[in-house]
Amino acid sequence: MIRTGHLMTMNDRVGVAELKARLSEYLRRVRRGETVTVLDRETEIARIIPLEDADLLATRAAAGQVRRISDVPLPPPLGSDVDVLELLREERQPDR
What are the backbone angles phi and psi of residue 89, rounded to the nearest 5°? -60, -45
Which is the CATH superfamily of the domain at 2-52? Answer: YefM-like domain (3.40.1620.10)
Confidence grade of residue 4 (pLDDT, cut at 50, 70, 90)? very low
pLDDT at position 53 is 65
| pLDDT tens readout for residues 47-94 | 999 887 666 556 666 776 767 888 888 888 878 888 888 888 888 887
Instruction: Please state, in angstroms and as integers, the Cα–Cα distance from residue 82 to each residue in 42, 48, 76, following that order.
Output: 43, 40, 15
- How many residues are there in the chain? 96
Confidence grade of residue 1 (pLDDT, cut at 50, 70, 90)? very low
Q: What pTM was estimated for this model as a whole?
A: 0.47
